[in-house]
Amino acid sequence: MRNRITLIPIAAFILAACGDKRPHTSDANAAEVSPVSSESASASAHTPAVTGPVSFEDANTAFKAKRYDEAARLFATYTTAQPDNVWGHYMLGLSAWKAGDRDRAVEAFRHALEQDSTHVKSHLNLTRVLLEQGKPQDALSSVETALRIDSASSEGFRLLGRVKSALGDTTGAIDAYHRSLVLDDHDVWSLNNLAVVYIDQGQFDQALGPLAHAIEIDSTVAAFQNNLGLALERTGHITQSADAYKAALGIDSTYQKAAGNLTRVEGVKQDPAIGPVDLADVARSFLQEIAGWRSPKTTP
């Protein structure tokens, strides 16, 4: 495809694709974390009511109210009184992580796994914290253990993709995201993260399909819109890329990378020889591609 736009070093695009290191909308890896309220609800469902100085419900109430420091303190007291309760250690891990204490979170998740080595949620969230600590090799061991326990976990393969990317294994990351999407083709973070790998490799055409499908599913994530803008820009669809950057800023007006990207493309003329891309058609084609991966002959 012809492209007359001025080329900018790829690194500038990759930084924007990954987003600012903020946990609300810009940073894909932070934002992909499963909603904690659903996880805490699951914890409550599996844990009987406990009486004593601190009950599970007391600590869980603080957690659901996003008082994470208080929740960590209460769950620490609770686990001292109830050391055999895996969910207490798990929720202590989540609380400490949300409070910014990664070391304590790692310790709590490992205590949970001492109580139940098959506790997949602890393995997966331990993987996330280890990635944040810059320990991808340790994270690899954790996520591989989770997948041995539950080989049908789309979330597990998504995290494996993140770990492989952190280890510099692009082929392994792409394979992991493929496996995640074979299990759940609506896993929007696998779609986004696969696209980011393609963007990192300069394969901008390849990134369009997963991003178009992700935005069909959830158009309210600024990172998706920004990443789509990058893919559109680098394939010569300047006008559409500006629309995507504007959509990102409409979701998060503080998204500095999207603002910078929009400023850049507003000074670039659309090549009239490059017509608009039908994103709905691109998304449909990508879904057909996923269907092909499900075939025994073509499954990654």
Q: How does pLDDT run across 152-200, given as a tens digit for each residue?
A: 999 999 999 999 999 999 999 999 999 999 999 999 999 999 999 999 9
pLDDT at 8 over 80: no
Burial class (CB in 10 A: 0-12, 13-18, 19+), 50: middle
* Highest mean predicted confidence (pLDDT) among 27-31, 34-38, 102-106: 102-106
Residue-wise pLDDT tens digits, 106-140: 999 999 999 999 999 999 999 999 999 999 999 99
The predicted structure's pLDDT at residue 295: 77
**Secondary structure of 123-167 as H, E, C letters:** HHHHHHHHHHCCCHHHHHHHHHHHHHHCCCCHHHHHHHHHHHHHC
pTM: 0.82
The predicted structure's pLDDT at residue 205: 97
What residues have CB less than 8 Å from 217, skipping those under 6 apart?
186, 188, 191
Residue-wise pLDDT tens digits, 247-264: 999 999 999 999 999 999
The predicted structure's pLDDT at residue 271: 96
pLDDT at 245 over 50: yes
- Cα–Cα distance measured from residue 222 to residue 30, given in angstroms and rounded to the nearest whole number: 13
Burial class (CB in 10 A: 0-12, 13-18, 19+), 121: buried
CB 200 within 8 Å of CB 17: yes
pLDDT at 151 over 50: yes
The first and second tokens of residue 49, run together, are 């009511």
Which residue's structure tokens are 């603002």? 259
CB 139 within 8 Å of CB 163: yes
pLDDT at 202 over 90: yes
pLDDT band at 52 (very low <50, low <70, confident <90, very high): low
Which carries the bigger pLDDT value, residue 211 or residue 43?
211
The predicted structure's pLDDT at residue 267: 87
Average pLDDT, rounded, for the chain? 86
The predicted structure's pLDDT at residue 34: 38
The predicted structure's pLDDT at residue 171: 97
Please count the residues of the chain.
300
The predicted structure's pLDDT at residue 53: 82
Cα separation values, 172 from 140, 166, 167, 194, Å: 12, 11, 10, 11
Count Cα neighbours of 119 within 13 Å in the Cβ-side half-sphere. 27
